[in-house]
Amino acid sequence: MKMETGKKAAFRTYVDVLLDQLEAHADRAVLRYLDEDVTGAAFRASIYRYARALASFGIGRGALVAMFAPNRPDALAIRYATNLLGAATMFLPAIKSAEQRAAFVTRMQPTLLVAFAQTAHLVPERCGAKLVYVGTGPARLRLDIRACVQCDTPMPGNAMPDDLAVIVSSGGSTGVPKASRRSFAAYSALVSAPSPSDRRQLVNGALAYLSQVLVDNTLMGGGTVVLKPRYDPVATLATIEAERITDVLLVEPQLFETMDHPDARLRDLSSLRSIAHVGGSAPAILRRRAIARFGPVLTHMYGASEAGLVSVLSPSDYLADASLLDSVGRIRPGVDVRIRRAGGTFAREGQHGAIEVKSAAVAQGYYRQPIEAAQKFRDGWCLTGDIGFIDEKLNLHVLGRAGDVAEMDGVVIGPAQIETALCALPDVRYARAVASGDAARGYAWDVVVVPWRGKPIDIARCMRALESACGAHVAKAVRMAAVQRVPLTEQGKADRAAIALLCGDASNAGLEKEAAFSA
């Protein structure tokens, strides 16, 4: 009989690793906020203080702390403190509709809801959760005031591997956001990829989305996070130069807005090692322009809050094979991808279909959304809702969301084909195509086109270019509007509802002109 001579190693969460790094870098800045440094020692102490303050409100294993969180150190400290206690956390999305926001918070049923001075206006009138504040509100409900008087000595973590740890919101670009859930074991694995200690990560996107993963991964690697309240192209470029940023995440409309801003030519961006871009279609014609402007620093990541990171196209991949710009790169080790055809069979090489993903990074379902979870997750597989194919070199190609892709005359057309034809025109700086908001009248896509500064856009010319490149059937299935800037969601993705309104208004105006001319 074999006898065990050693004890099984105790489970360590991502917060345990992060706290070790903060202790190791006690005297160095780990966060930059409002142009001020927060050292590892100061940030670590705030986590322990907030943990004790949260415990005084009854937070422990099985609880859920949800936050309308601005990009500030307190929000991060409260997140880590909550997880240290073994409770779950969620950064809530700032849903525009007050009614939908209230319904979302009610469905999540948080034990404690945290609002900040910058976000108090987002709190629903009746949400059923105990409400506490940071930087505002009555003193008896001020979590920050209560934390200030707590002891900052280290305390052990209470989390167990299978306890619920983190709930992450989807972008909600096709409706109300979903809320994917992960245990401490699953989330710790998700954020544990190696990260260099000299990394300086700019975070100017809402913490409710991918930004939270970047923050955790950077701090766990011993790097520094520079927090900015929101995305702005001028501020982004200035911050990269001033803070010697090495890594930045931009949702694709933001990438193209930033690269075409006049300040991009004026700023010293030599510190950049990676501009990670996600979301949207990112046609190759625009990525080539980004590489010409920024150099070989683009990192195209494909994934989702539910699926985790599926594939990566790194700067070295771009340089090695220019044809890869039409893909989202090689599928990551440990990730299984299959393509399901419309009839339910699985695709062969080069055949398109619905992308399904299986890996340790896939979420364990949706939180309090059983119907949506049953539709999204099946036998460990995540049904991404995207259409794509795998080529002979095992590179993944994503044609777009299922609703954005159509087959016409035997040819599969996605947003990238439409956007490529338009962005090749000298007066079009950027174009974005999404599923039409007026499909009942025969339209398949709503398209907005953005001109170069000082140049007007000829919509008729755009339509002729589209017809030449994609065929008459595609051109007839498009509603188009010229705009100065693509409307974006809080996450930075194209705002589909706003685009539908713009294209509908443009279409109606065109019909009115046509009717007046006929009269």
Phi, psi of 502 (to 5 degrees): -65, -45
Exposure pattern of 223-244 as b/e (b: 16+ CB <10 Å)? bbbbbbeebbbeebbebbbebb
> What one-character DSSP code corresponds to residue 441?
G
Q: DSSP class of residue 172?
A: -
Q: How would you write 444-491 as a 3-class SS string? A: CEEEEEEECCCCCCCHHHHHHHHHHHHCHHHHHCEEEEECCCCCECCC
Q: Residue with structure tokens 């319904």? A: 103
The residues facing 411 across adjacent strands are 408
DSSP 280-313: S---HHHHHHHHHHH-S-EEEEEEETTTEEEEEE
CA of residue 57 relative to chain centroid, distance: 31
Question: Model confidence over 330-343: pLDDT tens digits?
Answer: 999 999 999 999 99
**For residue 340, what are the β-bridge partners?**
346, 354
122-150: per-residue pLDDT in tens? 999 877 789 999 999 999 999 999 999 99
Average pLDDT of span 338-361: 94
Whether 10-27+39-189 and 405-518 share one fold: the answer is no
Handedness of CA 52, 56, 62, 68 (dihedral sign): negative
Tokens 């003193």 appear where? 139
Which helix H or strand E contains 507, and what residues bound it? helix 496-518
All structural domains of the chain with their residue ranges: 10-27+39-189, 405-518
Is a pLDDT exceeding 70 seen at residue 4? no
Give per-residue pLDDT as tens, 240-257. Answer: 999 999 999 999 999 999
Superfamily of domain 405-518: ANL, C-terminal domain (3.30.300.30)
The average confidence (pLDDT) of the chain is 92
Instruction: Summarize pLDDT for 493-513 with one digit per residue, the tens.
Output: 899 999 999 999 887 776 444
Q: Which CATH superfamily is domain 10-27+39-189 in?
A: ANL, N-terminal domain (3.40.50.12780)
175 pLDDT band (50/70/90 cuts)? low
- DSSP secondary structure letter of residue 360: T
Give every strand in the sheet of 330-331, ordered side by side.
36-39, 29-33, 224-227, 200-203, 247-251, 274-278, 298-304, 308-313, 330-331
Average pLDDT over residues 7-20: 85
> Quick one: pLDDT band at residue 384, thresholds 50, 70, 90?
very high
* End-to-end C-alpha distance for the chain, whole angstroms: 98
pLDDT at 281: 75
Burial state string for 174-196 with b = 16 or more CB within 10 A and e = fewer than 16: bebbbbbbbbbbbbbbbbeeebe
* Residue 519 confidence (pLDDT) above 70: no
Contacts of 10 (CB under 8 A, 6+ apart): none
Pseudo-torsion of CA 286, 287, 290, 292, nearest 10°? -100
Tell me the percentage of the chain whose pLDDT exceeds 90: 82
Q: Give a three-class secondary structure readout of 57-100.
A: CCCCCCCEEEEECCCCHHHHHHHHHHHHCCCEEEECCCCCCHHH
Give the three-class secondary structure for 3. coil
**Which of 453, 452, 454, 510 lies closest to 478, judged by CA?**
510
Enclosing H/E stretch for 186: helix 184-190
- 373 with 366: CB under 8 angstroms? yes
Answer for the pair 116, 141: CB distance below 8 angstroms, yes or no: no
Is the pLDDT at 388 greater than 70? The verdict is: yes
Mean per-residue pLDDT, 26-37: 96
Question: How would you write 241-276 as a 3-class SS string?
Answer: HHHCCCEEEEEHHHHHHHHCCHHHHCCCCCCCCEEE
CA dihedral 285, 287, 288, 290 (to 10 degrees): 130
Instruction: Pick 196 or 282 by higher pLDDT.
Output: 196
pLDDT at 128: 79
Q: What is the pLDDT of residues 182-199, one digit of tens each?
A: 999 999 999 999 999 999
